[in-house]
Structure 1
């Protein structure tokens, strides 16, 4: 480009800023318009107007449409673009990239003299070193010369790129609003009152089972509601749309879940909008699924009653403090019929108005206040106190005051969130910037991440508080630069949302944050929701997060406390159990309760109903007693309660001390009973025996004198009878040892001789018969010897001597050594006492027990016998009755034989009692009877325990100091 000297510029080009200076200094001689001094007056006038205008203008002059433009147009050309070289250039040279677009416009104006108008037209432009998509609103007008002919095209224009981009962002914001509602688990609806058609978002369509993309008829939607609630909803809608209505809409109803049998409880919030003539032109709002928030038994009426009876006071005013909204509780407290023409100051009691006026006056500057003040009920003219909280609602973009809000009761966090979301809904329908403001003030953390680097595009106040950052520190910053510790866990989830377009949730997620200068772990529930553009492409992710640290920590503490409590119960040496619910389900019980009191297997009782496991308790006092504790919630102690409990070993009677303690939930309701038991059966029975003994003793003393003489006479007769019995026993012993055994020996001797002499003459049948004779004679001889031994145990065979049991056992093992070796018996001995005994009888006792164990050994299993002893006090032995003043040697004799059923524990000690056939096991059934007789001779006792296949255990109690 060539430039002339400044003094060559002509006077009509004076001024005009930068472009005027450039035009004046440009060498125009090489252009089709020539030097400025030769330009026609029409061009001069147009250029003077163009250069001195503050509005962007452009001029195409001449047949080749030479380009002129002013300073106001200059910024649209950008940097490193077409400026200034297109000045004086033909249009086709200056604008090759858009020539197909503007050429028809130039032709229309230049050749036909017709003006054009285009609004928000996309016309790309080369600037800033590249082609930019730019939007323009412009008009092409004919520029007439002095001859009256069109000599150029005059362009007045404005670049609207920012406006168009803003409108697109506004559309995206509306979609983000929809996503926010979805993330908050809300449905949205918009009713055309004139047409009766309803538009809904995806969440509402899902809940009501509506067809996506269709406008539903209102009556069809009513049919989705449970029949019992339809009339109520219709009436509420009609009242809201009535001319006399304040426009607010709030109703709770039930619908049946789509494709399910369950009922969903819905709360619908909204507002009707009216024309000046009172006719509704729009009715929109949200629906919330409140099923999980309320007890299904209370349902709609209890929820409404709870809201109406609360002390909530919620209201919203515009910047002039004119009321725009007040909830039902607020209106009722104030005694108003509606809020029309009402201001914030109208709440306040007359005597507190000076204070209120001052607070409201400084509220725009301070931003909020909280104070105790009196409002007035207009119906009864009485004041009442409230904690009045006021806050200024501002536009986050320019700080403009949008209104004032009040939430003047202490309400649950969830209610506060609903109130703020309801406020957000009212503002969202007005404009997108109010939505962002309400998002920033929401009590849940909300943030939007853009692109694969998850750059933070938006973060509300709660989200900033979570990460302890200011807004300027996070906007445009990758999310994982802010919280790097979460990258490993959250990056896959965010990538999955970008990839699939499906939301993802997290619960009780730990995040390390700075708090008071220290890093500590906080817990959050969150949802990642895809953010889509107008083409349904996922461009980012919205995160909605709620801190649940306190509930997580409390839950952990409760779990730990419950664990410690269960361990305390399980490890307690005292019988304990926990019963749950009105049916007294056994939740847990320790081993001592199960094994010693109930005498059941654990699987039989845990998780079962107490009265079904122990039906015998139903007829006793326990059902009424337990019901009383569940109902009244009072602890109870019962001493020496008589109980009949049927266990696996039969029914046993107990005397028990009970401590009943009610178990309460967090709301104070009684959900169970902890039962602690102390078995005092022995104490009670001993006391009763003592009482009976005392009474019997008194009676016997009374009768003793009368019976004494009679007893002496009977005693003399008894002595004579005993002497005679002893003589008979001695005679029996002699006969047994001589007269009875001698014929048996001869039978055995002569049958053996006959068999030897006959030899081969015996047939097989003869041989079998002679063998049976010998076996029968041998069995008879063994029986006589056992009877003789049994009779001898009835009398003492010598004086008592202090002697170690181990010495006697050594003699017995020596005597039975052949049998022990033949059967491969293992005899294991432990500590053995030294006692006063009749050695021969104790030796006989051990022989019979050893032979018994060898006889009843398992086939193909080597017998193993364990013998040990310890000293015990007679008073501590409960199985049998012993002298409580004496000390006994408890001899424990156990084997690994075939055993026997527990019910035969007494029968085996009786004479001639056998548990098996004589062909299966040899013997006469007298051996254990002899053992018991020997124990009785020593004034001791014996017990037997066994199970089939598990061997037998005998416990013999012999006095240490003798009988």
Structure 2
């Protein structure tokens, strides 16, 4: 090993290098990758001389192992108050492992590309002066070539901006607090003293110079809320919890001056031993929000009460409807049956004596028959439920088969040709769907043209919600529908009546021309609505009509 005199003579470039320069001169470099200082490249010696004399915090990483040097100006950033750490001859990753993930990428980039890079306001979590701190530093990485011009080292200039970053963060926080109209508070657990912002003091009715003790802080809190507040604070300070304090309570206007609802949010802070030493957070005046919420709840309750009244009324109406159905099916039909029966007896026993009176008798019986049919149609319309919740799959092919069987005699009498395509299966009520298509086909058979052979087609098509007709006032509950078209070549109707034909008792032709009660299409619309769909019609006089039924898939 060289004696100190010889080494000092070889290390004149380290003169005036401060404490770090002294440590470098005293270090035994013969056992390191770098070797003795007189063997170091001129570029390394020059850079070290600059680094050690500079008052700007710097460190240098050199060689394959990125051996670390730093100057005295860098020491405060490390938090070393009494002496330097022992980095000499060691890789930087061993000296400062905390910053290795941050600096390694930049260092590799500089050594590879030979160009300087810049990292501004970089957050570094670092342990210094016995505790972990978050530092904000700006790093400038500059390549240092060896004597052959190859980048071999990286000179890093460091400017700590932690104080500035904290001040900027605090300013931003203060601005956010003012913008949100928040109050701030803190509880010093060691002294049991509370600190309130001016806004919070005003809310609590506490003077600006008044010392806030726990007793004074509780006084404006509504008495019924105080036990909850104490329990919430105890929970936030309890071991093993997340330390969050979150509560809402009301201030007593007699103590605070105004009744306010406050939302308090805070968290517990712990020392190095894991012991809580303070609780701090924010307070928000949510009085307006709670009043709006209470008004909404009141309106909901009032609306609920109204709905309950409506439900009672509907139940009463349902009961009346059931009573009507009973009367219609028994009490109203019975007199009609007697009129028809006595009419038959009169014709049979006294027909020869009545002369033209037989015509009047037949008119009376026909009127009674029409009244009976009308009552039956009204019963059918009233018995259709307002909504179907059934989940039973119904094959429309089976439904049309039943309808064609029921209408077989009428189809034969009119000579109509009925063509039915393959139809889908949907979820619904089979009886109602049978009524729907029986009414539609009966309508087509009734209004056929006398000079043309009647032809009825039933087709099906799948439609996306976006392909539905735009001129419908029905809210689309499904994303896809089946459109079932019933197409005929009958007498048709004027399009101006398209909105009228689905109403009760609406007729476009006289009773003498075409029989009926004007209820059939109203029943169709109700059945389709019960299944979450809708029905439309298109027509031109003399060109037939198309009834399109849209049912959810």
TM-score if structure 1 supplies the norm length? 0.26
Whose strand proportion is higher, 1 or 2?
A: 1
Using structure 2 for the length normalisation, give the TM-score: 0.45
Structure scoring higher RCO (CA < 8 A, sep ≥ 6) equals: 2
